[in-house]
A and B are shown apart, each in its own frame.
Chain A
Amino acid sequence: MSDVLTATTPVVLLAQGGGHGHELTVGVSVGPTFLRVALLVAVPAVAAFAVLRGFLAEPGRRSLAAVVATAGVAATLELLLSGGLNLSERWAPVLFALLAVPLYLVLSRDERFAPTVDRARRMAPWVFWPAAALAAQQFAQAWLTGAGPARAATMLHTGVVLALVAMAWFVVSRPRRAATTVSVRLGAGALAMVLIAGVGQAMVLRPAAPVPGVIVAAEYDTDDDPIEVLVVPNRPGNNLVRVSGTGALVGTSGAELTPAWPRPGANGAWTVVTLPEGPSEVLVSYGGRTISVAVDTGTATPAPTGFAGPDGAECASALLGRAIARTRPAPDPGSCPDEALTPADADSLRAIVATLAEQGHRWFIVAADASPRGQAADAVVRDAAARLGLEVRLAGVSAGTGPLVVVSGWTAASLTLRANPDADVRPAPWLATEPSLVPGLATLPGGASVDRYRETLREQYPGVSPSVSGYQAWLAESAAGPAENLAGPAR
C-alpha cells in the first residue's frame, strides 16, 4: 500500500451537459501542489501582518499566536519543498527552535516565567535583525550575482526560511523604546515585501520533476564553471552520465563515486551508472560541490545493454538524435547503432571497396570489432572485395601506408587509427564524429539537413557534440528529407 498520492495522478475533467462527456486527462502532481498552495497562502498572511502592524492596535494573544504558528507552518512547508537550503542540514533543528520559542513566548501564562518572557520579548529585535539580514543576503545573492536557476532557487528558499524566522520574532517583539519599535516595524515591512517576491519566484524556479524515460539534462552552478549533466537514457539499468567538465566524480552514492572520462568521438566526460526502477539520484562531485541530479527511470523498458559498452557514447548520440526529432518527450531507447548494420551503411561500405578497386589497390586491411554491426560490416566488405578481386589481409597486422578499412565502433576505431598513423584510412560512415576520432579524420559532412540536425541538437542539448549516428537517428525519426552524402573523404 503506498502512502504517496503524487506521481502523476491523473485528473479527469468532464464537460457538462448534452448527455455525453468529453474527458480530458491531465497529469498533475498533487502532493507538492497542495503544499505550494498552502505556502502561498501562509506567507502572504505573515507578510500582511508585518506590513499592517504599524496601523493596528495591539493584537490579542490568539492573533499573535496564529501569526507565529503560520510562520512556523510556512517555514516547515518551505523545508519540504525546497529540496535543500544554502545552509548545513545541522541548522534545521536550530531554525525549528527559533520558530518554536516565539510561540512559547506568546502562549506562556506561567507567572513564574513571566519576567523571563517579558525580557525575551523586549530582546526580540536582537534576533529579528540578524535573521532579516541573513535573509536579505540570500535574496541579494539570488537576484544580483547571476546565479543559475538551480542555485538561485536554493538561495531564495533559504532566504524565505530565514525571513520567516525573522517575522516570527518580529511578531512577539515588544521593545521599550519607540525608536526601536519604529525601526523594527519598518524593517519588517520591507522584509515582508521581499519575502513575497522571494517565495513567489522560488515556487516558479523549481526544477522540473524528472519524467520516467526522458533524458535528464540540467546545468548546475559550482565553485568553478557551471557544469552540464546529461543522464541517458534514464531507464532502469545501465545509464550513461555525461558531464561537461573534466575531473568530475559520478555515482549513485557518496561512497561509490567514480571518475568520468573522455570517450573517443564525443565531447565531455562519461561514466556508466546503474539506476534502479523509479525515482533515484545521480551524484556528481565537481568544483567543490556535490550535485544531486534527480532521475526517475520508471518501470518500463530497461536501458539497452549497449549503453554500458565501449560505444555507449555513440548509443547516446543516436538516442539524442531520436529525442530531438520527436514530439513525444520519451523516445523508446530502441537499440544501439552497433547492434545492426543499416542498408545505407552497407551500401557505403561497398562503395568504399569499389573506390579502392578503382584506385588500383590490390589489397586492404579491414578492422572490425565483435559487435553485430562490426561483424556484419566485415562480412559486407569481404564479400565486396571478393567480387572485385581484392585481397583482404589479416586484421591486427600493421597497415603501414596501405589502405585500412575501419568498420568497428568509435572506441575500437580510435585505438586502431592511433596504432596506424600512416595508413590510408577508409572509415565507415558512422565514424564521422565531432570531435573527430583522431586528428584529420572526417567529421560530419555539410549540408542543409545536417545543419538542421546540428542546430536542433544545440538548442535542446547545448554542449553535446553531433555525430553521424545521431544525425541518422534524427533523420529516421523526423523524416526530414533526403540524407546528406555521408560517405565523406577519408583522412
Chain B
Amino acid sequence: MVTATGAKRWTGRYGLLNTRYHKAALMVFLFVVVAHWVEHITQAVQIYALGWPRPEAGGVLGLYFPWLVKSEWLHYGFAIAMLVGFVMLRHGFVGRSRTWWNAAMWIQVWHHFEHLLLLLQALSGANLLGAKVPTSIVQLAFPRVELHLFYNAIVFIPMVVAMVHHRRPRPAEAKLMECSCARVPVGAGV
C-alpha cells in the first residue's frame, strides 16, 4: 500500500478520501446507498406484497414522517449525495473496478438529472409537458415508484461490482492502488 505523499487535502486523486480514508469513505457511502435502497425496496413491498395504496407507501421513513417522503428536496438530497460520492471517490478505483464505478457514476448522473428536473418542477409549479404532477423524462413512460426502484438497482449493481473488484484487485491493479481497500490482490500468491 502506498499512501499519498504529504497529502493534506481530502479530494482528488491523492486526497485522503481516495487514499488513507478511502475504505472508510466507501463504507459510509455504502451505508447511505443501502439505506436509500432499503427505503425503495420497503416501498415496493408495501405496494406489491402488502397491497397498500401508492400514496400511503412511503417506505420506513414515510411511516413516521410522511411529509418527508413527499418532499422532492429529500429525494434530490439523496441523488446529489450519491452523485457527489461517486465523483469524489472515483479516483481511488483502478482497472476493472474503475470501469464499473464509472458506469455506476454515469447512470447516477442521469438519475440525478431526473431528480433535479422533479425538484425544479416542485419549486416552480411548472410541470413537464403540462403534467398534473412533477414528472421526469422517463416517468412519461413508466410509473415513478417502479422507475426509481429500477434506477437505484442499475446504479447499485455496478457499484457493488466495482467494490468487489476493488477489494479483490489483480496484481497489476493492486500496484496502481493508492488506498488500502484491497483485502488481498487476486493471484498475489501470498
Contacts and interface: CB of A to CB of B under 8 A. Distances in A.
B130 A89 contact: no
Interface in B82-129: 117, 119-129
A7 B125 contact: yes
Interface residue tally of chain A, by bracket? 20 to 34
B129 A92 contact: yes
Contact of A6 (B71, B125, B137): B125
A3 B124 CA distance: 9
A83 B129 contact: yes
A281 B138 CA distance: 23
A7 B125 CA distance: 8
Nearest to A280: B132
Interface string B20-52: 000000000000000000000000000000000
B78 interface: no
Given A4-B125, A6-B125, A32-B125, A80 B120 contact: yes
A80 B140 contact: no
Contact of B130 (A1, A3, A5, A83): A83
B64 to A, nearest CB: 15
A81 interface: yes
A29 interface: yes
Contacts of A83: 129-130
Question: Chain B at the A interface: mostly helix, strand, loop or mixed?
Answer: helix
A29 B124 CA distance: 9
Nearest to B110: A100
B126 A80 contact: yes
A79 B124 CA distance: 13
Interface residues of B, number: 22
B190 interface: no
B67 A34 contact: no
Contacts of A5: 123-125
Contact of B124 (A1, A32, A90, A280): A32
A76 interface: yes
Contacts of A84: 129-130
Nearest to B122: A3
Interface in B63-91: 67, 71-73
B141 A90 contact: yes
Contact of B123 (A1, A31, A96): A31
A93 interface: yes
A81 B132 CA distance: 13
The 10 nearest A-B residue pairs measured at CB: A31-B124, A83-B130, A6-B125, A3-B122, A31-B125, A80-B126, A84-B130, A32-B126, A89-B140, A4-B125
27 contacts: A1-B67, A3-B71, A3-B72, A5-B123, A5-B124, A6-B124, A6-B126, A7-B125, A31-B125, A31-B126, A32-B126, A34-B124, A35-B120, A35-B126, A80-B117, A80-B120, A80-B128, A81-B126, A82-B129, A84-B129, A84-B130, A89-B141, A90-B140, A90-B141, A280-B132, A281-B132, A292-B130
